[in-house]
Amino acid sequence: CSASANKPVLTLFTKKPCPLCDEAKEVLEPYRRRFVLQEVDITLPENSAWYDQYKYDIPVFHLNGKFLMKHQVDMQKLEDQLVKLESQS
């Protein structure tokens, strides 16, 4: 049984280059043990629906498939949601 099985998934919708996304990943670094970071490149053909939705808003973050925040990391919002999820598991 892997420890990551119970961790929430934080999805980062991104494209290359994305300096704001790089900045966001740096901000998230101290929290990395609390979630699995999954990056979705919105410029890939299979992600065209996300591209249409988020092309002007990246970085965009979803936590466990639900929209969380965009443009920059809101640490308070992330912390609140992680605590809520951790208390449920």
Q: What's the number of domains the chain is made of? A: 1
Residue 4 lies in a domain: no
Residue 32 lies in a domain: yes
9 bridge partner residues: 36
Tens of each residue's pLDDT in the chain, 89 residues: 455 568 999 999 999 999 999 999 999 999 999 999 999 999 999 999 999 999 999 999 999 999 999 999 999 999 999 999 989 87
Residue whose structure tokens are 């494209």 = 15
Where in the sequence is the domain holding 31, given as residue range(s)?
A: 9-87
- Per-residue confidence (pLDDT) for residue 6, from 0 to 100: 85
Q: Which amino acid is at 30?
A: P
Residue 1 lies in a domain: no
Residue 3 lies in a domain: no
Question: CATH number, domain at 58?
Answer: 3.40.30.10
- CB 9 within 8 Å of CB 63: yes
Query: Rounded CA gap, 66 and 61, in Å?
Result: 8
Residue 15 lies in a domain: yes
Residue 2 lies in a domain: no
Whole-model pTM: value is 0.90
